[in-house]
Structure 1
Amino acid sequence: MNENIIEIFSTVQGEGKYVGCRQVFLRLEGCNLHCSYCDTDSAVGMHPDCVVEEGAGTYHLVPYPNPISPQRAAELVEIAAAGVPHQALSITGGEPLLHAAFIRALAPHVQLPIYLETNGTLHEELKKCIDCVAGISMDIKLPSATTHPVWDAHVRFLEIAKTKDTWVKIVVAAESPDSEVDTAIRLVADTAPESMLILQPVTPYGGCTKPSPEQLLAWQENALRRLAHVRVIPQTHRMMDML
C-alpha cells in the first residue's frame, strides 16, 4: 500500500472553482496520458524522496524517504498544514487515480476533505474511491494536446463524478481547434449540464501558446449557450510565483 509521493505542501489553489482557497497539496507519481503542455515531472520511480514543506507558508522543504504509507502521509499532511486552517487536501499528480487504493487507505487518516485533480479518464479507478472524496477537478483533454482522443472515457468518468462536487476544466491554447472545444462543451452539456465549466488558457509550455482574448470570449460564448456556469480562469499560482 506504500506509494512514492513527489511532494506535500501548503499554498493557495491556483486553478478552477476554488481558486484562491488555502489547500494542502499531495502530488503522486505517474500518468496515463502525455499532454503537450504538461510541465510536471511525475515519472514513476524518479523520486527517492518526498519533499515536504515543514510549516505552512514557510517554504522550508525537507526530504522524507519514499515509499510512504497512508498513515505516514497523513502525518506529513499535518506537518505541511502546521495548524493553519485549510479548505481541503488536493491530491494531484501526474494522475492520482493510478493510486486509488492508496487514496482510499489515506482518507480515514486525514481531517481535511479530499479533492482530486484528475485527467478524467480512469472511471473504473474512480469507482474504487469516490465515496472517500468530497470533490473532483476533472480535466477534459483535447485530442490535439494528447496522443489520442479520450472522449468516451471522459463521458464514463463524468457520469460517475457528477454525483460529487465536480467541475470540469479544459486547457485551451491558440492551437486548439474550435471543433475540439465545441465537442468538449457538448460533452459536458449532455452528460452533466449542472457542472461548472472552466476554460483555462494554457500557460505556454511545450510549444503551446496562449489563446487570444477573442478566442477565449468566443469559446465562452459558445459554452454559455449550453451551460449556466462557465468561467475563464488562468493558472493564477503561476502569475503569483507560488508553489
Structure 2
Amino acid sequence: MKAPVIEIFSSFQGEGLLIGERQIFVRFAGCNLNCKYCDTEDSKSEKSGKLMTVDEVCREINKILTPDCNTISFTGGEPSLYPEFISEVSKNFNLNIMLETNGTLPDNINKIEQLDVVSLDIKLPEHFNGNFNEDILLNEIKSVNLLREKSISVYCKVVILPSTKIESFKEVIEKLSKNISNKSNLKIIIQPSSPLKDWKDINFRLFEYSEVVGQYFDVSTIPQIHKILDIE
C-alpha cells in the first residue's frame, strides 16, 4: 500500500483548538477541491507527492518523534482520500490521531479506524472561483454528524477572507445550525486568512462574524499562529 506524501515534519499546531501543541504532521498530496485561499498549493496534485509505503512513513515519524509530541496530524491536500493508509500508519503508534480535513468525503472519513480529534473546514462560496456546489456543505454536515455519533472530538473551522460577505457567511452558519443533529459543545473556529495585514482597517468586522456564530454555537476567533511565529 502506498500514498503520495509531500512531507513529514514536526512543529507546533498553528490552527484551531490544539494550537501550540507539538505534533508530527504527515502532509498528503492530492485534493478533491480547489480553494482559492489554499496556502499549500503544492499539495493539490497527487503528482507532487512522493509515493511512500506505510513502513516508510512510520520510519520517518519515528525519526522525528520527541517527548513533547503526543499527536500525529494527517493533513494535506485532503488526507481523507487515503483512509486505509491512515488507518495502517496509526496502528503503529500509541499516539493521538488528528485529521485535518475539508469534510467533503464522509464515507472515506468513516473508514478511518482510529481518530481522536478532527479539525473540519467549513467552506464558503467565496472560497471558490465560480459556482459554489451545495453538495460541499451537505457532505461537511454529514461528516460532522457521523463523527459526533461516534463520539469523536470534532470542531469546525471557517476561514474568512477580507472579501467574505457577512450575508453569505450567515447563510452557511444557519444551515449548519439547522442540520447538525447535536450542537451542544460543538466549537466553531473563525480563522482570518493570512497575512493578517490584509485585515488592517477592517478588523472590526471580525466581531460581526463572531456575533453571527455566537447565536448558534460556541465560537472563537483564532488566526494562523504558525504564520505569526514564522514556522512551518
The match for 1:230 among 210, 219, 229 is: 219
Matched residue type, 1:233: I
Superposed CA offset, 1:27-50 (max 9, x none) = 001000111111211121123xxx
- Contact between 1:37 and 1:204, CA under 8 Å: does it hold in 2? no
Percent identity, aligned pairs only? Answer: 30
Aligned residue number for residue 55 of structure 1: none
Aligned residue number for residue 108 of structure 1: 91
Superposed CA offset, 1:213-232 (max 9, x none) = 221101101211212x2100
CA distance in 2, matches of 1:18, 1:184: 24
Query: Secondary structure of 1:67's partner?
Result: strand
- Contact between 1:22 and 1:88, CA under 8 Å: does it hold in 2? yes
Aligned residue number for residue 17 of structure 2: 17
Superposed CA offset, 1:179-230 (max 9, x none) = 221123223433141211000001149xxx5482221101101211212x21
Aligned residue number for residue 141 of structure 1: 123
Aligned residue number for residue 143 of structure 2: 157
Aligned residue number for residue 37 of structure 2: 37
CA distance in 2, matches of 1:159, 1:9: 31
The match for 1:73 among 57, 74, 79 is: 57
Query: Secondary structure of 1:23's partner?
Result: strand
Aligned residue number for residue 60 of structure 1: none
TM normalised by structure 2 equals: 0.89
Determine which structure has the larger helix proportion and give its number: 2
Aligned residue number for residue 48 of structure 2: 46
CA distance in 2, matches of 1:189, 1:19: 25
CA distance in 2, matches of 1:85, 1:74: 18
Matched residue type, 2:139: A
Q: C-alpha displacement at 1:169, in angstroms?
A: 0.2
Between stretches 110-119 and 187-196, larger displacement belongs to: 187-196
CA distance in 1, matches of 2:48, 2:209: 38
Aligned residue number for residue 175 of structure 1: 163
Query: Secondary structure of 1:136's partner?
Result: strand
Between stretches 114-123 and 174-183, larger displacement belongs to: 174-183
Q: How many equivalent pairs are there?
A: 220
Q: C-alpha displacement at 1:104, in angstroms?
A: 1.4
Superposed CA offset, 1:14-61 (max 9, x none) = 0000001111101001000111111211121123xxxxxxxxxxxxxx
- Contact between 1:100 and 1:126, CA under 8 Å: does it hold in 2? yes
Matched residue type, 1:145: H
- Contact between 1:115 and 1:135, CA under 8 Å: does it hold in 2? yes
Query: Secondary structure of 1:171's partner?
Result: strand
Where does structure 2 lack aligned partners over 5 or more consecutive residues?
A: none
Distance 1:215 1:185, change over 3 A: same
Query: Secondary structure of 1:45's partner?
Result: helix
CA distance in 2, matches of 1:185, 1:98: 26
Residues 1:92 and 2:99 are matched in the alignment = no
CA distance in 2, matches of 1:195, 1:71: 36
RMSD after superposition: 1.9
CA distance in 1, matches of 2:53, 2:106: 24
Matched residue type, 2:35: C
CA distance in 1, matches of 2:39, 2:213: 27
